[in-house]
Amino acid sequence: RQREISIRLAIGATRGTLTRLFLSESLVLAAAAGIVGHIVAMWGTEAIVRLVGVPAAVESTPDWRVILFTIGVSALAGIAFGLTPSLRAAGLPLTSWLRSEPGSDSRPQTSRLQRALIIGQLALSLVMLASAGILIRGLAAAWRTDVGFAYEGRVAVSTDPRLQNYDQPRAAALYARALTAIRALPGVDGATLAHLVPFGGRVFVHGLSFPGRSVDENARPDRVSVNHVWTNFFATLRIPIVLGRDFTDVDLRPGTDTAIVSETMAQRYWPDVDPIGQRFSVDGPNGPFRAVVGVARDVQIDEFTERPWPAAWLPHTGEAGEVVVLTASARPPAQVIREVEGVIRGLDRDLPLFSSRPLRDYVAERLDGERALSKLLAICGVMALALAGLGLYGVTAYSVTLRTREIGVRMALGAGARDVQQLFVRDSLRLAVRGLMWGLLPAIAATYGLSGMLVGVFPVDPVTLIASAIMLAGVTALAAYIPARRATRVDPLVALRTE
């Protein structure tokens, strides 16, 4: 519109008139975009929340604050992009522009602002795609991580006899009868119970005391994750006993005071001696002190970490309280859950059942936040990449329009369609390279920060960065190729007569 602006100025239009013209045009476009964007947000955010699977109740409907924000952003964008052409028009050389012809410039260039916006969009796309990629790779690595126990083919059913006024003898008898009946079910490979379910979201951590060791009251006490379990717990979850023995029925009697500890706990507190027979207390320096009868392989207690918590398992002596019945079976989990619930209700129909789920679900929940964030970043990255691609497509199409005569001259002189296409694709790839350069360091910083959320992911992941860069370059090349391909179909004679 340079000639149009020059003509307006030549016939008496003032700078203020041009400013009002550009502002009105820009604000109309911004208002239309804001309205469309808000309408899309009305249903799009709820769809994204469902697709992402946010692990919490989220109010996704845009409220008045979102509306005000949308109005403000639209107005700001309209003013900013309306003032820019008016400021540029103030410096136009009228004589040269009035004498020029549209498309006569052999090397038309898009403005620096247009290029800067596209480069910024490409850089932001790289950051989001790399962030989503590192989380996706981290989730895959987390599922491959050995948590130390078997959760496939295991179900967990929770109950609490205390709510029905069970005392210790009645509760212990109930547990024994229930486990005997569950183990007799067809297809059941093992059954046990525990106070806490692995990855159940709660970990009881107690301070440690050791006989013969002085206690510094000002020092932070040593801590260990503690769980009370029944016999067959380690066999049901396939946790190997690497030293010593498993619990027996004798250990379930009150006052036996035995314990099984993890490898990490044994190595931390008894590095130079045999841990079997060592004694410790989780109830303070006055005991009771428990003797270690076995050492089990390390397990992830409640989250994916590089180093497992030190853990101790104490024999469940039948106290009435919340317990989790764990059952191992190769049959469908839903069938096993129904049969286990039927056994418990057959013993006491009034006994409440809180949660009945496959054990795999507990492990999956630990990754819900990372999974939702990876999906959200992937959606944002794809949207940012799409916007960058559309912007680049528009710039390339505009450049093709301005250079129609040049294209005609090139083709008349023997240039092939591939040569013309490469001309525009090459210019677009230069923008992509600049976008990659500007986005590389922020992408590395983002992936470095996100890598700490999961186990088994390198802070700087070359595979993720390279894959994101290839995707970005591919979209850039495609956005430039489409208008360039259309330009090569123009008849050179028609192109030469174009004004």
Q: Which residues 6+ apart lie within 8 Å of 168 measured at CB?
A: 254, 317, 318, 319, 320
Cα 79 to Cα 23: distance, rounded to the nearest angstrom? 6
H, E, C per residue of 21-62: HHHHHHHHHHHHHHHHHHHHHHHHHHHHHHHHCCCCCCCCCC
> Is residue 422 a contact partner of residue 112, using CB atoms and an 8 Å limit?
no
Task: Provide the residue ranges of all domains of the chain, joining segments of one domain with +.
Answer: 1-101, 110-145+367-499, 154-365
User: How many angstroms separate the CA atoms of 255 and 277, rounded?
Assistant: 16
- Record the pTM: 0.64
- State phi, psi for 165 to the nearest 5 degrees: 60, 35
- CA-atom Rg of the chain in angstroms: 35
Which amino acid is residue 395, in one-letter code? V
CA distance 47 to 204: 38
List per-residue pLDDT tens for the chain, 499 residues long.
666 776 776 677 677 777 788 788 888 888 888 888 877 777 777 777 776 666 555 566 667 787 888 888 888 888 887 777 666 665 555 555 555 555 444 334 446 777 888 888 888 888 888 888 887 777 777 666 678 888 899 999 999 999 999 999 999 999 999 999 999 999 999 999 999 888 876 677 777 888 877 655 555 667 788 999 999 999 999 999 999 999 999 999 888 899 999 999 999 999 989 999 999 998 877 778 999 999 999 988 777 665 788 899 999 988 888 999 999 999 999 999 999 999 999 999 999 998 899 998 888 777 777 677 777 777 777 777 787 788 778 777 777 777 777 777 777 777 777 887 888 888 888 888 888 899 899 988 888 877 766 665 666 778 888 888 888 888 888 888 888 787 777 666 665 565 5
Region of 12 please: left (phi>0), alpha (psi -120 to 50) or beta.
left
Task: Please provide residue 186's backbone torsions phi and psi, each rounded to the nearest 5 degrees.
Answer: -65, 135
Q: Residues in the chain, how many? A: 499
